[in-house]
Structure 1
Amino acid sequence: MIANIIIISVLAFIIGIDDVSTKFFRRPLLIAPMIGFILGDVPSSLAIGATLEIMWMGIGNVGAYMAPDIITGTLISTSLAIMSTTDGNIETAVATAVTLAIPTSLLAQQLLVLIQAANVSLNPWAKRLAENANVKGTFWLIWPPAILTGLVRAIPTFIALYFGAGVIQTAVDALPELVIDGLQTAGAIIPSVGIALLMLAMIKKFELWMFLILGFVFSAYLNLDILPTTLIAIVFAVFYEMMTHNKATNAVATNHSVQIQEEGEYDL
């Protein structure tokens, strides 16, 4: 069993590094079957992966907002569910995994926030390397954050699997109340900051703010759900793209005509 725990911990480290690069293996639908293959229960892992995928389908980081860590949540919950379900009952394994996935992902979320705060300290170093055009130094600079992100997935996974799920709750209870309050306050503020930064990056033209106001009206006053609001937004986006494309095409055609006319007058 200890060999399987070590293998899963190494897998967690690799997936953690992948999460800050290609992001190929970060979904529960891919992680859970790998855990099932290691532990010898692929059918249960497929059911767990599909369930967690549906549960976390719309989750993701937005701007500076750090979402619950679905990678660590999937790794720990799938492993403990399969290891604790000795009778091979798939429904029991799925129920156990869902129960464990929420608290483990939330705890790992706080660890990722701390790691990202540590990674920010590398920004002055990166700025100096960029100013000096030190490409080789910039290449090596990507490894400390990657390794830290891998360790913050591997170490909790190993501890949880080796000592059991109870150690996770013990670790949370041992944190000072000041730390818990600070993390909760940061968690409440960061989503607003992240959305604001995302809006500033995407809505750079004045006319685009009209679409934001229209979406707010649909949601707040007309009480439309996400799906109809999205479908209406797609229609407006297509019309806006058609209008801007035609405007750009007409501008290019006008400039081309003026250029031809000027060249003709020059030849005469």
Structure 2
Amino acid sequence: MLLSAILVALLATISQWWFFAPITRCMTYPLTTGLIVGIFMGHPMLGMLAGANIQLVYLGWINTGGVMPSNTMVAGIFGTALTILAGANPKLAVTFAVPFSLIGLLMVEIYQSINSFWVHRADAELAKGNVKAIRFLNYIPSLIVALVVYGIPAFCLVYFGRGWASSMLKMIPKSLTTALEVVGAIMPALGIAMLLNYLGKKTLVPYFFIGFFLTAYLHLQIMAIAIFAGLLAYLIYINDKDKTNNKVTATPKKKVRRLTLNNRTGEQEEVAKPSTMDMTKAAKSLSPLNYKLRLTKSDLVKTWLWEQSDEAAYNYERLQALGLTNMMIYPIKKLYPKERQAEELKKYMVFFNTEPHMIGPVIHGIALSMEEARANGAKISAEDINGVRTGLMGPAAGIGDTVQQGILFPILASIGATMALDHNYFGPVMFTLVFLLIIYSIGYGMFMYGYKKGKESVISILKSGLLDKVTKAFSIVGLMVVGTMAATRVTIKTPLIWHVGQSTIKLQSLFNQLAPSLIPLLITLLVWWLLRKKINATWIVVGIFVVGILCSYLGVFATI
């Protein structure tokens, strides 16, 4: 048990201490960590089932702009560990995980608040010309804080918790255990409804119902729905693209609509231009001809790898600033003499926050291109570089968060969780590997594209409207997959029976004649309606607990 406790504590630590994103990125998802916790504690199947059940609740919980609506890292790791310790039904994992996720919000506040101190220390060290201190400050203090805030509680839970966890489960009456299973069966409706709230534009909502009824009536598996949805989305994308091309050909002088994705909400807004006259002047200075100082392909790859630590010391005050300053140490040393290096790094110690893995890296590629030009004597100031970075920060975040967290993740996680709940270990493994491969392949490409093409080419893509069409296509796939999840993973039914004279009518049979899985659909739509009415998700969680337990005791709801 000591080894298990140490391993789970290490996992909990790196789930928040994001020292290298390709390793730590999926440690925020219960589908991935559930299986790992299960392996560490000697119960891989129970861990995987617990993690998959927990993941269904958090399909639609999107962390944007430094705001975390619920701590899914703590929910997945601590909730799975407690389920294994208690030897509980994996359906109960949700009821264990939700309280932990709320406690986890306090933990992340402590972690990110304390990390703000290292930013000020970094300012002081750069003022003294001490570049080496940035590496230390980005990694070591944040590691210690993550270990104390996350690792030690996880160790104590696993090492000391088996006795009281088993006792706690034995103390719960059978009727309450059954009621909590009903709560667990309803809870995935919240995650599905949150995705509907995020993706569900009026013109796209019908695709949710298509996915739902294809599964409810034809019993198609989620992979079949995903393939069908992907082909349908591709046809719609091609059709939209052809319409746009024909429209542009007919009216070549008409201004192309600009991309209108907001920073971190997915709502529409005008894209900020990175700069005005100063930035135009800077763009003219970016020609690489006659450069004496150059960044090689190897230099770019190394810088991209250092960029994967940009959230190791993530903090409330300047968010990614310390990590990005750490990223720029290598190219700054390559481009500038020693006496200038600390001064040049100071410009990166300003507030910065964007989607860091998939679309955001394009900004860092552009910054490197401008930095290279500046080192070779181009008339580019520190303010010019930060003007571009700040201007592109919002659009890149809006696109990256929408595609990665709002579309790509729920599609892959839905498929992975479904496979996991069918006792297939390939589910979480597939999700983790494919998700990481997609986002970091795109992220690497965007980083290199930003360096090679500079800001003008990136802005032209943002203005073209192409990404609106791509986002629409992905949204169609996401909504159809979510519809499948509503039909299969909100596993609730009614055992009510009506006696009319000599006849007995089972209410569930009546519902099945109207539409299979009608109760799960109605529950999901009700939760979606509450979200659209701006009811806080935490209150909805409380409501599901109360209603689920009450309806179980009254005999209104039961699990399928």
CA deviation profile, 1:216-235 (whole Å, cap 9, x unmatched): xxxxxxxxxx99xxxxxxxx
2:103 alignment partner in structure 1: 107
Change (3 A) 1:44 1:116: same
- Contact 2:35/2:48, CA 8 A, preserved across alignment: yes
Alpha-carbon distance in structure 2 between the residues aligned to 1:155 and 1:138: 26
Which whole-Å CA distance do the structure 1 matches of 2:28 and 2:76 have between them? 9
C-alpha displacement of 1:66: 3.1
Distance 2:89 2:53 in 1: 11
Contact map agreement 2:53 2:91 (CA 8 A) in 1? no
Where in structure 2 are the equivalents of 1:135-174 lying within 5 Å?
A: 135-142=131-138, 143-164=140-161
- 2:249 maps to which residue? none
**CA distance in 1: counterparts of 2:113 and 2:150, whole angstroms:** 16
What residue number does 2:463 align with? 241
* 3-state SS of 2:69 partner: coil
Change (3 A) 1:242 1:139: same
Q: Which amino acid aligns with 1:15?
A: S
Which whole-Å deviations, capped at 9, do the CAs of 1:122-144 have from their partners, x for residues lacking one? 22222233445532110000120
SS at match of 1:122: helix
Partner amino acid, structure 1, of 2:272: K
Identity %: 23
Matched, 1:7 2:7: yes
Q: Cα–Cα, structure 1 residues 6 and 33, in superposed 2: closer, same or farther, change >3 Å? A: same
Pair 1:79-2:81 in alignment: yes
CA deviation profile, 1:39-83 (whole Å, cap 9, x unmatched): 222222222222222221232432232332212221111111112
- Match of 2:110, SS? helix
The question of whether the paired residues in 2 share the 8 Å contact of 1:16 and 1:150 is answered with: no
Q: How many residues align?
A: 181
Residue identity in the other structure for 1:10: L
Any conservation in 2 of the 1:77–1:101 contact (CA below 8 Å)? yes
What's the offset of the Cα at 1:117? 1.4
- Taking the aligned partners of 1:134 and 1:93, their CA distance within structure 2 comes to 55
How many angstroms apart in 2 are the aligned matches of 1:79 and 1:6? 13
Give the aligned residue type for 2:463: E
8 Å CA contact 2:50, 2:90 repeated in 1: yes
C-alpha change, 1:197 and 1:117, in structure 2 (3 Å) is farther
- 1:31 pairs, out of 26, 33, 53, with 33
User: Whole-Å Cα distance in 2 between the matches of residues 239 and 59 of structure 1?
Assistant: 29
How many Å separate the matches in 2 of 1:46 and 1:107?
23
Opposite residue 109 of structure 2, the aligned amino acid is V
Distance, in Å, in 1 between the alignment partners of 2:61 and 2:19 is 17
Hey, what's the Cα distance between the residues in 2 that align with 1:139 and 1:77?
34
Give the structure with the larger helix fraction: 1
CA 1:198 to 1:57, structure 2 compared with 1: closer, same or farther past 3 Å?
closer
1:120 and 2:116 matched: yes
Q: What is the alpha-carbon distance in structure 2 between the residues aligned to residue 154 and residue 39 of structure 1?
A: 16
1:46 aligns with 2:48: yes
- The Cα of 1:107 is off from its aligned counterpart by 0.7
**TM-fit CA distance, 1:101:** 0.5
Over 3 Å counting, the alpha-carbon distance change for 1:149 and 1:60 in structure 2 is farther
Q: Is residue 12–residue 157 contact of structure 1 (8 Å, CA) maintained in 2?
A: yes
- The normalised TM-score by structure 2 is 0.29
Shift, 1:4, TM fit:
2.2
CA contact (8 A) 2:85 2:158 kept: no
In structure 2, the CA distance between the partners of 1:30 and 1:160, relative to structure 1 (3 Å rule), is same
The equivalent of 2:510 in structure 1 is: none
2:480 corresponding residue in structure 1: none
Using the alignment, how far apart are the partners of 1:58 and 1:133 within structure 2? 45
Residue in structure 2 matching 1:59, options 42, 58, 61? 61
Q: CA deviation at 1:203?
A: 5.3
Contact 1:74/1:101 (CA < 8 Å) preserved in 2? yes
TM-score (normalizing by structure 1)? 0.56
- Give the AA of the match of 2:145: L
The Cα shift of 1:148 comes to 0.8
Distance 1:15 1:205 in 2: 33
Q: Which residue of 1 aligns with 2:272?
A: 205
Distance in 2 (alpha carbons) for counterparts of 1:36 and 1:113: 28
Residue matched to 2:504: none
CA distance in 1 between counterparts of 2:13 and 2:272 reads 42
Deviation at 1:106, TM superposition (A): 1.1
What is the CA deviation profile of residues 172-226 of structure 1, one whole-angstrom value per residue up to 9, with x for unaligned ones?
A: xxxxxxxxxxxxxxxxxxxxxxxx9858xx95539xxxxxxxxxxxxxxxxxxx9
Counterpart of 1:219 in structure 2 is none
**Structure 1 vs Structure 2 CA RMSD:** 3.7
Partners of 1:133 and 1:73 in 2: CA distance:
42
SS in 1 for 2:4: helix
Query: Letter of the aligned partner of 1:149 in structure 2?
Result: A
CA contact (8 A) 1:112 1:149 kept: no
CA distance, structure 2, for counterparts of residue 59 and residue 140 of structure 1: 33
Cα distance between partner residues in 2 of 1:150 and 1:59: 25
Whole-angstrom CA distance in 1 between matches of 2:462 and 2:63: 27
- Mark the CA change 1:70 to 1:150 in structure 2 (over 3 Å): closer, same or farther: farther
